[in-house]
Structure 1
Amino acid sequence: MPAVEISGKLSISPQPSLDGIQSLRDRGFKTLINNRPENEDSDQPGTQRERQAAQHCDLSYVFIPVILDSITEADVRAFQRAIDNSEGPVLAHCKSGTRSLSLYLIGEVLDGRMSADEVVDFGRSRSFDTSGAARWLENQAARRPQVKGFFDKRTCSIQYVVFDPETRKCAIIDPVLDFDEKAGAIATINADAIFAYICNEGLTVEWILDTHPHADHLSAAQYLKDKTGARTAIGERVVDVQKLWKGIYNWPELAIDGSQWDRLFANGETFKIGCIDTKVLFSPGHTPASITYVIGDAAFVHDTLFMPDGGTARADFPGGDARDLWRSIEKILALPDETRIFTGHDYQPDGREPRWESTVADQKTFNPHLAGLTEEDFVALRTKRDKTLPMPKLILHALQVNIRGGRLPEPEPNGKRYLRFPVDALQVAAWA
C-alpha cells in the first residue's frame, strides 16, 4: 500500500486493504483516519471492519467521512485534532488520498502556515490534484458570515458564534449552560469558552439568539447577556410554549408574555448582524416555537434537520407535530441549494467525529428521512421512530429555565436555588 509523507506526523494513501491495515503498526503508524463515507464504493471493507482491523493491531481509529465539495471547517478541525491527539505517526486515507490531503492543506491555509496560492502546486508535486481544495478556499473567502461552532459532548449540542468579518459584530446562537443532574451542579464551561473566543477574535456581540426553548440542556443566554450586554431574542410563539409548560409545572406566577427576552421575532422579520441581512423563518414541528435564522448564506435550523446521515429531529414533545415539522423542512429546503445548513445537534452516527454543517443540496440528496419521501411517508416514519425514543433526561429540569430565557430560579431564603420537578408530568416513561 503506497503512502505519501505529507508532514512529520501525517502520511496519506488510497484505500488500504484489511491486510494493509494490519501492517501499519509494523511501519510505525499509531493512528488510522478514514475519510470515506460509508458505502461510497464496492472496494471498501466498511467502517466497522476497518475499525476492527485497526484495533486488532493496536491502532487508534478515527472516522471523519467527507465529500470534497462538501468539506466544512468542522471537518478540517476534526482532522487536525485527530492528528494532534495521536501518540505518533498518522495515516489518513480516502479513495485516492486527495480528500485527506485536501483536509490537511485547507487547515494549513486557515491557520496561516501556507498561502492559498501554494495549494495546487503542493498537491501537484506529490501527484495529487488539489484544485478542489483551492476552490474550497476561494469560496470560503467569499462567504459571509463566518461561523464558529462549539460542540458540547454532554448534550451533543452545537452552539454558534456567527460574525460579519467586516464589522466584527456577531451573534451567539443557542449557548449551553453546563448542568450535572446527578449533583445538581451548574457550571459555565461552554459559555466561558464562547466568551473567550469572542474576546480573542475582537468581536462585539449584538445578539444572543435562541431557536426555541430547549429540552436537552439549560440555556446560557442570560449568563452571556450579563457578560456582554447583548440583546436576547427568540420567536414570538415562545408564549405558546410558556402557556403549555406553565400548566405542566403548575406555576401560576410565571409570566407568559415572552418578556424574559429583549425581542420576540415574527415570522419573516428581518434584522442585521453587522452588515449581514438576517431573516427569521418560523419552523414549528419539533416545538411550536421553533425558528430558523437565515443569516446571509447560512441557515441555523437547530432541531429540524440533523446532518444528512442523522436524519431529522423528533416531533413528539408537548406541542410538537410531525406534519408541521415536514412542512417546516420543506420551507428550509426551498432556500438556494448552496445555502449552508447548521444544525443544533450531532449524535455522531457510526462513531464519526462531530459534524454540523451541510447544504440544502446535501440534505435533499442524502438525508434518508427526506430523499424520495412524501409528506405521508415522513409522518409515518417520524411517528414510528419517535415512539421508540425516551424523553431527554433533562427535559423537566431544562424547560423551567429555558422558557425564562436562561434565568435560573431565584435563591430562596437559605441562599439556595431549587428546580421544580413535577411527578408523572409527561406520562411517557420508558421502563424497559
Structure 2
Amino acid sequence: MSAVRVDERLVVSGQPQLGDFGGFAKDGFAAIINNRPDGEHPSQPGNEAEMDAAKKAGLSYSFVPVTGSSITEADIRGFQSALRKAGGPVIAHCQSGKRSLMLFVLGEVLDGRMGAEEVQGFGRAHGIDLAAASDWLRTWNSQRPRVKGFFDPRTSSIQYVVSDPETQKCAIIDPVLDFDEKSGATGTVSADAILSYVKSEGLEVEWILDTHPHADHFSAAHYLKQKTGAPMAIGDHVVEVQKLWQGIYNWPTLRTDGSQWDRLFSHGEPFKVGSIDARVIFSPGHTLASITYVIGDAAFVHDTIFMPDSGSARADFPGGSARVLWHSIQGILSLPDTTRVFTGHDYQPGGRHPRWESTVGEERRTNPHLAGIDEAGFITLREARDKTLAMPKLILHALQVNIMGGRLPEPEDNGQRYLKFPLNALSGSPW
C-alpha cells in the first residue's frame, strides 16, 4: 500500500488490506475514508468488509465513493464532512490515492485556502498528478447555472439554489419547511439556511419553484415568498392533485384552481433565471403534477430518477403510475448526455455520503432501473418494489399543506392550527 502524508490530519493511500486496520489504530489514526466504489476490481474488500474491519479496530469509517470523471461538489463536501467528524488523523484511500487527494485539494480551492494555479504543483510535491483536478475546476467555473444543494437529513430531501453568475439572480427549488411529527412543531431552520446562503452570495431571488406537491416534507415556498417577495410557481397539473386530495380530505372549501401559486407552468413553457434560458417538462408518474425544470444545462428531475446507484422513484401514490413514470423518464433521457441531473432525494445506499448530481449519460448507462431495461421490465421492477414500501410517514401531514403552496392551516378560534387525518384512506400499512 502506497501512502502519502498530506498534513497532520490526513494521509492518502492506495487500497489497504483489512489486516492493516488494527495497525492504523495503533499508529494513532482515528478514521478510514473509503473513496472507492464497490466493484472496481475483484481484489478489493468492498464497503461492508471495510466497515466491519474498521469497527473491530476501533476506527470510525466513512464511505465517500467517487470516480474521477464524476466528482461533484457534493462529493467534495462529503469528504470534508468525514474529515471533520473523524476526531483525529485520517487515512483516506482509493485505488492509488489520487482521487482522495483530488477531493482534498478541490475542497481547499473551493473554500479559498488554495489557488487553482497551485493545484498541480501541490500534486507534484506529493508525487500525484492532479491535472484532472485542474480540469474539474475549469469546468466548474464555466457552468451556468451555478447550483448549490442543501441536503435535509430528516427527509433525505435536497433543496436547491440555482443562480446565474452574470446577473446574480436565482431560483430556489423544492425548499423544506421543518416539521417534527412527534411534537407537531414547525420550524424554518432549513429555509433560513437557504436565505443565509442567498445573502452571503449577494443573490436576488427571482423564483420559488416546487416540482410537485411533496409527500414527505412540508414546502417552505410560502414562507420564502413572505421573506423575499419572489413569486411561487409549480406545474399547472397541480389542480388535478388538489381535486384528488380534496376528496381524500373531505375539504369542500379548498380552492382547486391552483390560485395558491403566482404562476402555473405548462409543458414546454419557457422562462428565465436571470439571463439563463429555462423551460418546463411535464414529468408525471410519481404524481399527477410532477414537472422537471431544465435551467441552462441542468435538469431538476425531482422524484423521477435518483442517483445512478439508486434507481427510480416510487409510482404508487394516489394518481401515480409506473407506466407513465417510464415515459416521463424517457423524456428526461432524451436530453443531451452532458446535461447535469439533480434529483429530489438521496437515500445513501451502502451508507455512503449524500449525493444529488449526475448526468443524463451516467443515468442511461449505469442506473439499474434504466440500463438495458425496456418499458415492460421497468414496470415489473417498479411495481414489485413499490409493493414492499410503506407510505411515507408524513404523507397525510404534508399534502394538506403542500396543495396550499406551503401554507399551514388557518388558526381556529383558540388561535391554534390543526392538521386533519383521514383514517384508512391509503393502502400500504406495514402490518
TM range (shorter): over 0.9
AA partner of residue 290 (structure 2): S
| CA drift at 1:23 | 1.2
Cross-structure match for 1:402? 402
Cross-structure match for 2:105? 105
C-alpha distance in structure 1 between counterparts of 2:50 and 2:427, whole Å: 43
C-alpha distance in structure 2 between counterparts of 1:339 and 1:90, whole Å: 35
C-alpha distance in structure 1 between counterparts of 2:112 and 2:211, whole Å: 34
| CA drift at 1:26 | 1.3
C-alpha distance in structure 2 between counterparts of 1:21 and 1:428, whole Å: 44
C-alpha distance in structure 1 between counterparts of 2:7 and 2:326, whole Å: 47
Cross-structure match for 2:261? 261
Cross-structure match for 2:114? 114
Cross-structure match for 1:96? 96
The question of 1:355 aligning with 2:355 is answered: yes
C-alpha distance in structure 1 between counterparts of 2:224 and 2:319, whole Å: 28
The question of 1:305 aligning with 2:305 is answered: yes
| CA drift at 1:298 | 0.7
| CA drift at 1:2 | 3.0
Cross-structure match for 2:230? 230
Alignment of 1:240-255 (within 5 A): 240-255=240-255
SS of 2:427's equivalent? coil
Cross-structure match for 1:26? 26
SS of 1:310's equivalent? coil
The question of 1:39 aligning with 2:39 is answered: yes
Cross-structure match for 2:74? 74
Alignment of 1:381-396 (within 5 A): 381-396=381-396
AA partner of residue 212 (structure 2): H
Cross-structure match for 2:285? 285
The question of 1:418 aligning with 2:407 is answered: no
- Residue by residue over 1:16-48, the C-alpha shift from the partner in whole angstroms, topping out at 9 and shown as x without a partner, is 001122211112111100001111111211111
Cross-structure match for 2:321? 321
Cross-structure match for 1:218? 218
- Residue by residue over 1:157-208, the C-alpha shift from the partner in whole angstroms, topping out at 9 and shown as x without a partner, is 0001111111111111001111111111111111111111111111110000
The question of 1:346 aligning with 2:346 is answered: yes
C-alpha distance in structure 1 between counterparts of 2:88 and 2:170, whole Å: 39
C-alpha distance in structure 2 between counterparts of 1:307 and 1:427, whole Å: 28
| CA drift at 1:429 | 2.0
Give % identity: 65
| CA drift at 1:7 | 1.9
C-alpha distance in structure 2 between counterparts of 1:129 and 1:378, whole Å: 42
Cross-structure match for 2:376? 376
- Residue by residue over 1:396-427, the C-alpha shift from the partner in whole angstroms, topping out at 9 and shown as x without a partner, is 11000000100000000100001111111113
C-alpha distance in structure 1 between counterparts of 2:428 and 2:129, whole Å: 54
Q: Which segments of 5 or more consecutive residues in structure 2 lack a partner in the other structure?
A: none
- Residue by residue over 1:234-267, the C-alpha shift from the partner in whole angstroms, topping out at 9 and shown as x without a partner, is 0000001001000000100000000000000010
SS of 1:271's equivalent? strand
Cross-structure match for 2:162? 162
The question of 1:15 aligning with 2:11 is answered: no
Q: Which segments of 5 or more consecutive residues in structure 1 lack a partner in the other structure?
A: none
C-alpha distance in structure 1 between counterparts of 2:294 and 2:192, whole Å: 26
SS of 1:308's equivalent? coil
AA partner of residue 424 (structure 1): N
TM-score under structure 2 length normalisation: 0.99
- Is the contact made by 2:267 and 2:281 (CA closer than 8 Å) also made in structure 1? yes
- Residue by residue over 1:206-227, the C-alpha shift from the partner in whole angstroms, topping out at 9 and shown as x without a partner, is 0000000000011111011101
Cross-structure match for 2:50? 50
| CA drift at 1:335 | 0.8
SS of 1:379's equivalent? helix
Cross-structure match for 1:332? 332
TM-score under structure 1 length normalisation: 0.99
Cross-structure match for 1:151? 151
C-alpha distance in structure 1 between counterparts of 2:196 and 2:336, whole Å: 34
Cross-structure match for 2:204? 204
C-alpha distance in structure 2 between counterparts of 1:196 and 1:238, whole Å: 30
C-alpha distance in structure 2 between counterparts of 1:278 and 1:213, whole Å: 21
C-alpha distance in structure 2 between counterparts of 1:81 and 1:376, whole Å: 41
- Residue by residue over 1:132-157, the C-alpha shift from the partner in whole angstroms, topping out at 9 and shown as x without a partner, is 11111111111111111111111000
AA partner of residue 104 (structure 1): F
- Is the contact made by 2:286 and 2:314 (CA closer than 8 Å) also made in structure 1? yes
SS of 2:232's equivalent? strand
- Matched pairs, number: 431
